[in-house]
Amino acid sequence: MTTGRVREEGFSKDADKLVRRLSLVALLLSRRGQPVSVAEIRSRVEGYPPMTEEAFKKRFYEARSELAGLGVEVAAEPADDGSELYSLPADAYYLPAIELTHEELTALAACLAVLEDRFAYSQPLRLALLSLAQGRPELLAEASAPPLTVVPESGPAAAVLPKLQAAVAERKSVRFRYYAIGRDEELERIVDPYGLQLVAGEWYLIAWCHTRQAQRTFRLSRIRSRVTHATRAPHDFPAPDDFDIGAYRDRPAWQLAKPTGSARVRVAAEMAWWVEAHWAHCGSVEPQPDGAIVYETAYADARPLLTWVLGLAEAAEVLGPAALREQLADQLRRLDALYDSAPPEAAGAAAAPAAARRRRGDDWRVEVDRFTRLTTLATYLIGSCSDDEALLDVARIRADLHTSAEELRADVRLLNLVNFGADGALLYAEYEGRSKLRVSCDLAGPEFTRPSRLSPLQADTLLLAVELVGGQLPTASGKALASAAAKLHAVRSGAGPTIDSSDLLLPSDAVLAAVNTAIVERRLLALEYWAEGTDRMSARTVEPYLLVHSRGEWYYVCWCRTAGGTRVFRVATTKSARLLGDTFEPRPEVQLDLYRREGIPASGSYAPKSATVWYSPVVRRWIAEREPLRPASDGGALAGQPYVDERWLTHHLLGFSGQARLLAPPEAVADLRATVRRILKSYEP
């Protein structure tokens, strides 16, 4: 039917490789699991006949290796003549039967509806969902965006994320210049990238660093150059057997390395609930008769642990070990002594913070490997053919596959070349004008009617999307999403995931469940809420409208009947949320579009007061990453700090362990110094 077509010119080497691999898969699938000799492969697969024996062996080995990396294992067995026979069993190529219910598939599709416009992995997510839907994109279209929004990415990392994701998948060493903020130096690094993690809106790379000869974590926004391959080899390192990206999840800053000790911290009754809710997973809790707790936690680095304790101010006291207790007392003494010296003065104009790189086009998006893109397109086109032919709408194809006009044309050209000698071709497609594509299914076409198995990237992307949405699709959809994720975990084959996300604080499942139900059923909620801005517990009655995942935390947007206006509440500081029997009608004055687009605004946009703070040379580099600073005469820097209440400001600055000094206003300075002296009394003999 199509064997006489002329081979087109002008394809790249990568395109030639893709044609060879697809033709190889087409040949093996057409044999329905029966083995094929190496001689037949060499003579029938597109691209192999003109090669020398040596070149064929090399290219054939590379093709098998690349397919194996995508989860497609070509089986080999010895032949009678001493050569080898090759086959592709159905279960090695086709998507295994994942018995997703309609509700589970719709819940997964709702993740796409929430994430797609702002999610770097939206293309592999869409193609994975299309495969799960067995080529029926209309099933995905049924899922509308729920009352939930996720803002998962920050700007600067967008430039390098796609290149690093490709390097992780291809096991390629990469080279870049990196700003080590702790040492305040910029060095070239060569690393073996193992995985990527999204924490609080920031992407991090976990890799083996050749410079340090150790495993290290790199924040992508501190990469100061293009990311380039370190070698020209197809692969540079094997996938490490012992790497588990899940081991990096939900670890506090004081447990990022091997523990060196264990601390005991007494937490007062008013804050015991907060520590139990968010930190019990990395320590143990011992209740006390007065409602307080003694919290014990292992630590590798004392500095972040003491920062955490000081942030709780008078509600926390280090009981032991003695050296750690004395270390905290010394920090308090240094902070108190700061206020006996003359305050530093500004030494120049404010410096602008590092500009976030603006996204250009789709260069921030991670693309699925092109082999997977082509097999998905083949399944889509062949599945659309009735009576071996169809006239399809180009705009519909592009929307279903989320592909550009240029990508679709290029992919169609390649699919037209896939064949295996005289047996036939996969399909033939040609444009009729710009808006229509006529598709003819060829002899090998039926073998591609069933979708291929999910690539590791597609499987990991589905699980990442579930993680970002957090199982927080309202009520029944949330349960369906959780059960779908369990089924996906069960069929995830090969090495462990290489992409992951983690929240700053573990959200309360009970609070989220109550908020979800209240949003869907339009029911009132009674809250016990700890407002950090005022450091007080309050009772609220609210009408919840929208869940928001922003900067690594969960929030919910409500009309607060107690305050008489729109308010945003953190799940992490909600002590309890109780569903009431009364319902409410949505208020037109509650505007949600801004929250859907941009997440939760920073406190500076609504805090009524501002303080002047000096930061030492030790910490000024971290502060400069997020806000403009004015250089100080002593090498430190000055900055403004928005705040609502003096007690919150005191707690916030105590966490800097003497590396920050409050300069104004006077009443806030007095509150901070009085608090420091009260805490010190607990540590003095």
The model's pLDDT over 434-472, given as tens digits with 9 standing for 90+, comes to 899 999 887 767 788 888 888 888 989 998 888 888 766
Q: Where are the alpha helices (DSSP H) in 228-321?
A: 269-279, 302-311
CATH number, domain with residue 275: 3.30.70
> Would you say residue 661 lies in a domain?
no
Most confident range (mean pLDDT) of 174-178, 299-303, 410-414 is 174-178
For 575, list phi and psi in degrees, rounded to 5.
-70, -40
Query: Are 327 and 376 in the same domain?
Result: no
pLDDT of residue 180: 92
Mean pLDDT of the chain: 86
> Is the pLDDT score of 419 beyond 50?
yes
> Would you say residue 474 lies in a domain?
yes
> Is the pLDDT score of 495 beyond 80?
no
CA dihedral (383, 387, 389, 390) positive or negative: negative
Query: Are 513 and 536 in the same domain?
Result: yes
Most confident range (mean pLDDT) of 315-329, 369-383, 416-430 is 315-329
Between 247 and 5, where is the model more confident? 247
Instruction: Identify the residue whose tokens are 């599945």.
Output: 383
pLDDT of residue 473: 67
For 560, list phi and psi in degrees, rounded to 5.
-90, 115
pLDDT bin (cut points 50, 70, 90) of residue 284 is very high
Averaged pLDDT for residues 59-65 = 91
CA dihedral (638, 641, 646, 651) positive or negative: negative
pLDDT of residue 437: 94
What is the per-residue pLDDT across 249-262, written as a single tens digit (0 to 9) for each? 778 889 887 899 99
Would you say 206 and 245 are in contact if contact means Cβ atoms under 8 Å apart?
Answer: yes
What residues contact residue 23 under an 8 Å CB cut-off, 6+ apart? 45, 46, 47, 417, 418, 419, 420
Query: Are 58 and 126 in the same domain?
Result: no
pTM: 0.85
Query: Are 492 and 439 in the same domain?
Result: no
Q: Read off the DSSP letter of residue 256.
A: S
Would you say 408 and 398 are in contact if contact means Cβ atoms under 8 Å apart?
Answer: yes
Tokens found for residue 143: 């899922």
> Is the pLDDT score of 143 beyond 80?
no
Averaged pLDDT for residues 492-520 = 82
> Would you say residue 42 lies in a domain?
yes
Among 58-62, 402-406, 528-532, 545-549, the minimum mean pLDDT is found in: 528-532
Among 315-329, 430-444, 486-500, 553-567, the minimum mean pLDDT is found in: 486-500
> Is the pLDDT score of 125 beyond 50?
yes
> Is the pLDDT score of 501 beyond 90?
no
3-state secondary structure of 239: coil
pLDDT of residue 645: 81
Domain-ending residue, one of 569, 600, 631:
600
3-state secondary structure of 527: strand
Between 658 and 326, where is the model more confident? 326
Between 184 and 474, where is the model more confident? 184
pLDDT of residue 441: 85
Using DSSP bridges, classify how beta strands 389-393 and 293-299 pair: parallel, antiparallel or unpaired: unpaired
pLDDT of residue 354: 54
Q: Which one, of 551, 503, 497, lies nearest residue 246 by Cα?
A: 497
Query: Are 166 and 242 in the same domain?
Result: yes
Domain-ending residue, one of 408, 423, 448:
448
3-state secondary structure of 162: helix
> Is the pLDDT score of 361 beyond 70?
no
pLDDT of residue 2: 39
Distances, alpha carbon 472 to alpha carbons 388, 461, 468, 507, 514, in Å: 43, 17, 9, 11, 11
**Element containing residue 558 per DSSP (H, E):** strand 553-560
What is the per-residue pLDDT across 197-217, written as a single tens digit (0 to 9) for each? 988 778 999 999 999 999 999
Between 510 and 286, where is the model more confident? 286
CATH number, domain with residue 528: 2.30.30
Between 541 and 107, where is the model more confident? 541
Query: Are 164 and 245 in the same domain?
Result: yes
pLDDT bin (cut points 50, 70, 90) of residue 222 is very high
> Is the pLDDT score of 1 beyond 50?
no
pLDDT bin (cut points 50, 70, 90) of residue 544 is very high
Averaged pLDDT for residues 527-531 = 90
Averaged pLDDT for residues 348-372 = 68
Using DSSP bridges, classify how beta strands 174-180 and 185-199 pair: parallel, antiparallel or unpaired: antiparallel
Instruction: Identify the residue whose tokens are 């409208």.
Output: 545
pLDDT of residue 142: 64
Domain-ending residue, one of 600, 626, 645:
600
Instruction: Identify the residue whose tokens are 């390192």.
Output: 237
Residue 665 preceded by cis peptide, ω within 30: yes
> Would you say residue 607 lies in a domain?
no
Averaged pLDDT for residues 65-93 = 88
What is the per-residue pLDDT across 585-639, written as a single tens digit (0 to 9) for each? 999 999 888 888 777 776 555 567 889 999 999 899 999 988 889 999 888 999 9
Q: How far is 532 from 536, CA to CA, in rounded Å? A: 7
> Is the pLDDT score of 154 beyond 60?
no
> Would you say residue 655 lies in a domain?
no
> Is the pLDDT score of 239 beyond 60?
yes
* Single-letter code of the amino acid located at 659: Q
- Percentage with pLDDT > 70 across the chain: 90
What residues contact residue 560 under an 8 Å CB cut-off, 6+ apart? 540, 541, 542, 566, 567
Query: Are 241 and 285 in the same domain?
Result: no
pLDDT bin (cut points 50, 70, 90) of residue 422 is low
Instruction: Please tell me the total count of domains within the chain.
Output: 5
> Is the pLDDT score of 479 beyond 50?
yes
Query: Are 84 and 141 in the same domain?
Result: no
**Element containing residue 675 per DSSP (H, E):** helix 666-683
> Would you say residue 619 lies in a domain?
no
Query: Are 267 and 221 in the same domain?
Result: no
Range of the domain at 302: 254-338
pLDDT of residue 507: 80
What is the per-residue pLDDT across 181-190, written as a single tens digit (0 to 9) for each? 888 899 999 9
Q: Which one, of 36, 583, 630, lies nearest residue 344 by Cα?
A: 630
Query: Are 178 and 244 in the same domain?
Result: yes
> Would you say residue 311 lies in a domain?
yes
> Is the pLDDT score of 111 beyond 80?
yes
Residue 343 preceded by cis peptide, ω within 30: no
Query: Are 20 and 85 in the same domain?
Result: yes
> Would you say residue 306 lies in a domain?
yes
Q: Which one, of 240, 196, 216, 205, lies nearest residue 499 by Cα?
A: 196
Distances, alpha carbon 295 to alpha carbons 279, 300, 513, 651, 680, in Å: 9, 16, 27, 19, 20
Query: Are 333 and 412 in the same domain?
Result: no
pLDDT of residue 455: 86
pLDDT bin (cut points 50, 70, 90) of residue 285 is very high
Between 155 and 424, where is the model more confident? 424
pLDDT of residue 557: 93
Could you count the other beta carbons within 10 Å of the beta carbon of residue 101? 12
User: What contacts 24+ positions apart, CB below 8 Å, involve 181-188?
Assistant: 181/222, 181/621, 181/622, 181/625, 184/621, 186/224, 187/211
